[in-house]
Amino acid sequence: MNQNNNINHNATEASTADIANIVSHIQKEWQTEYNFIVENGYNGYHSKRLKDSKIVSGHAELEGSNKLNIYGNALEVLDQAEFYENISIIHFEYFNIDMITNRKIIEKLKKFAKISKLIFSNNNIHSFYQLLKFEDFNDIESISIQNNEINNAYLLKYFLIYRFQKIKFYNDLEISSKDVMTAKKIYEYFDKCISCGENKKREKKQMQQQLAAENSKKNESANNKDNLNGNNNENNNNNNTANPKESNNSEKSPLDKVDNYETIKEEKENLILKKNLLNYVTKHLTDVLEEIVDEE
């Protein structure tokens, strides 16, 4: 059972001891779940996505007039429309990030019109990709991440600066212009690397659609012609029987082989391009990191 299904609009409505006991219980459930996460490979690089949480307890409370604290399994608080216009800070603790970044939860979060700060603590955040789910919140100015595996990533701050255009604070420390320049140096080639070959894929798809449309028109025209010359079907059948090779060639022309060759050639060139770009990005990143270390 949930330890607390109600929202405390003020911490004084419940005794400090009661709230502390509830949060302590949630913390124990989280530790049990996190042990399960580690033992079953739901953390770290190439991890599986956790679909369900074993945490059943939850507690949420309003701190001041604009901060919402959510402990454990208490995401139902996001359904309360009375908070949509006032809450600007949301703090998630003792709950897995995969549950928070669920599509339905993200849609609920988007209803909070004034969100400018997100706080995460003990959420099994272990990859940059998990944080990209919050990119649609255009007014995020501050992000705090504590007690998560991703805190060991040296580039975390620079990644957040690069992906969240309005961010001004990371872990409550102000971001400097130097931090912004460093983030740009580190990540300026990554978008190119990720999108490499996408234009060619798009062009290829458009070409395939165009060819399919042309073939459809040709087939339609041929059917209409056959209908008009219905009296000659017997002669046509005799001709097809006499020239089976010609019929087969019309189904699979040498042009198809050429197109297939060009496709394979393009894919090979694309792979070479990606490999060269990855090598360049790796060297570039190494150089930038060495500069950062030297400066520090």
Structure tokens at 229: 């010359």
Q: pLDDT at position 218, please? A: 75
| Inter-residue contact 89 to 61 (CB < 8 Å) | no
Q: pLDDT at position 166, please? A: 95
Q: What's the CA gap between 65 and 114, in Å, rounded?
A: 12
Sequence-distant (6+) residues with CB within 8 A of 137 are 109, 110, 115, 118
pLDDT digits (tens, 9 = 90+) for 119-175: 999 999 998 889 989 988 989 999 999 999 999 988 899 999 999 999 999 999 999
Structure tokens at 134: 């919050």
Mean pLDDT by runs of 10 across the 296 residues of the chain is 47 69 96 92 73 92 95 96 95 96 94 96 93 91 96 92 95 96 83 56 68 78 64 53 48 48 61 62 61 59
pTM: 0.66
CATH for 7-188? 3.80.10
Q: pLDDT at position 43, please? A: 83
- Dihedral, CA of residue 128, residue 130, residue 133 and residue 139, to nearest 10: -50
pLDDT digits (tens, 9 = 90+) for 69-97: 999 999 999 999 999 999 999 999 999 99
Q: pLDDT at position 49, please? A: 77
Q: What's the CA gap between 281 and 284, in Å, rounded?
A: 5
Q: What's the CA gap between 33 and 52, in Å, rounded?
A: 10
Q: What's the CA gap between 32 and 34, in Å, rounded?
A: 6
Hey, where are the domains in the chain?
Answer: 7-188, 192-222+265-296
